[in-house]
Amino acid sequence: MSKIWQEFSKGIFKENPLLILLLGMCPALAVTTAVENGIGMGLASTFVLVCSNIVVSIIRGVIPNKVRIPAFIVVIASFVTIVDLFLNGYMYELWKSLGLFIPLIVVNCMILGRAEAFASRNSIMMSFFDGLGMGLGFTLALVVLSTFREILGNGTFFGIKLFGEGFEPAVLMILPPGAFITLGFMVAGVNAINKRREERSGK
């Protein structure tokens, strides 16, 4: 039980895919202009990650070593197609605002990275919790990033106006440069917290 908890929780902070491992930066920067999009992208990636982790873990004994990467990519691409069609059918608005970045979940290095580094070596149960933890960690990072950007750049949170008429939003934050700069400061913040933790445990 403690091992499951360990695999699950490592993705949330200690090995957060976006803030520590720096994987999956393209969708993270592109879609986080609003919190809604951030959550949508995070959950879509989590779904693909969990499913592909399970399937890769099931077929890990059958796939010859040489063709494993193309095989993983096919598995991932199938789940991405499912997500794409599902969002198109049931959540058209979200599908439109995520746009190009739904098919691009296929080349999110986070998902292929987990398939290769974890699911192809571990049991189904462990792979499931690893995928879930990593996916939620990614979602969490996206939510924080998009919260900053939406509040500063648009003056809203979840589309609700937060400030009075006098508030002049910093439009820069929802433009591309704001994404880079916000993520840069978030990575620096996480680094600083980790450094302080290390120093404390060292003493």
Partner 1 sequence: MTELLLIIVSAVLVNNFVLSRFLGICPFIGVSKKVETATGMGMAVIFVMTLASMITWIVEYYLLDPFNLSFLRTITFILVIASLVQLVEMTVQKIAPPLYTALGIYLPLITTNCAILGCAILNIQKNYSFIEASIFGFGSSLGFTLAIVLFAGIRQRLSLYRVPKSMEGAAIALITAGILSLAFLGFSGLVK
Q: Which residues bind partner 1 (CB under 8 A)?
A: 22-23, 25-27, 29-30, 70, 73-74, 77-78, 80-81, 84-85, 100, 103-104, 106-109, 112, 172, 175-181, 183-185, 187-189, 191-192, 195
Minimum CB distance to partner 1 smaller for 102 or for 126: 102
Question: Between residues 2 and 201, which has the closer beta carbon with respect to partner 1?
Answer: 201
Could you tell me which residues come within 8 angstroms of residue 131 by beta carbon, excluding any fewer than 6 positions away? 46, 49, 50, 51, 52, 53, 54, 114, 119
Least distance in angstroms from the C-beta of 16 to partner 1: 13
Minimum Å gap between C-beta 2 and partner 1 is: 31
Q: CB within 8 A of 143, min separation 6: which ones?
A: 35, 38, 39, 42
Reduced to 3 states (helix: H, G, I; strand: E, B; else coil), residue 162 is coil
Closest to partner 1 by CB, 125 or 192: 192
- The closest of 100, 60, 102 to 81, measured between CA atoms, is 102
Q: How far is the CB of 166 from partner 1 (least distance, A)?
A: 26
- For residues 192 and 195, give the distance between their C-alpha atoms in angstroms, rounded to a whole number: 5
In whole angstroms, the minimum distance from the beta carbon of 147 to partner 1 comes to 18
Q: Which is nearer to partner 1, 6 or 194 (CB)?
A: 194
The set of residues, in sequence order, having a beta carbon less than 8 Å from that of 64 and lying 6+ positions away, is none
Q: Which is nearer to partner 1, 11 or 24 (CB)?
A: 24
Q: In angstroms, rounded to a whole number, what is the distance separating the alpha carbons of residues 202 and 184?
A: 27
Give the nearest distance from C-beta 30 to partner 1 in angstroms: 4
Contacts of 111 (CB under 8 A, 6+ apart): 24, 45, 48, 49, 52, 76, 105
Q: Calculate ∠ Cα 38-39-45, nearest 5°.
A: 90
Identity of the residue, 78 or 156, whose beta carbon is nearer to partner 1 in the bound complex:
78
Closest distance to partner 1 from the beta carbon of 187 (Å)? 4
